[in-house]
Amino acid sequence: MTSEYVDELRANRREKDEFFADHPQSPIPPARREAFDGLRYFEPDPAYRVDATVTVHDEPDPVEMETTAGNPVRYLRQVTFTFDVDSEEHTLAGYRQEGDDGPLFVPFRDKTTGQESYEKGRYMELEPARQLADGEVAPIDFNLAYNPFCAYSETFSCPLPPEENWLGTTIRAGERAPNPQITEA
């Protein structure tokens, strides 16, 4: 991992901290923003920037994801990523809602979930499925994993990672669990 990449990652994190501290659309409740002194992150780690083999699903299966509000949301499983972490093979599915052609939504849990990272899982956004070909190798950078807005306020409803995206390994990369002083109780 180059120092240029680490510098860019840290600059993006500072920018996100500014948004969370000052922006009217920040997920941090206004009464808690004074206590906010930045999001908590794992240190950038090149071991969590991996190459994944892509399997494109020509006929995507529907997946109902539970949400923090209790109402399920329907997604389509567009691709499956296969990659190695700690010398073990893992898979993650990438989803989109019908008619959406933006980045793939990749919610996941790992062995840090509920301890070092947010208790309901984290998210990543990856290249749009229309740009990925079956058998292609695509990068997955867990250093970019982030907490959903519902980690900071119960006013947000967030999809929960389906069981197929529960990793049996530890991913100490990306955002850590939020500081309890800035979340709603």
Q: Where along the chain do its domains lie?
A: 40-182
C-alpha 58 chain-centroid distance: 24
Contacts of 29 (CB under 8 A, 6+ apart): 152, 153, 182, 184
pLDDT at 185: 53
pLDDT at 99: 83
pTM across the whole model: 0.92
pLDDT at 129: 57
Which run of H or of E encompasses 106?
strand 104-108
The span from the CA of 156 to the CA of 118, in Å, is 15
Contacts of 82 (CB under 8 A, 6+ apart): 52, 53, 55, 89, 90, 91
The SS3 call for residue 109 is strand
Cross-strand partners of 124: 106
pLDDT at 181: 73
According to DSSP, residue 22 is labeled H
pLDDT at 127: 75
What is the residue-level pLDDT of the chain in tens, covering all 185 positions?
688 999 999 999 999 999 999 999 999 999 888 889 999 999 999 899 999 999 999 999 999 999 999 999 999 999 999 999 989 999 999 999 988 888 999 999 999 999 999 999 999 998 775 578 888 888 999 999 999 999 999 999 999 999 999 999 999 999 999 988 777 65
pLDDT at 53: 95
The SS3 call for residue 55 is strand
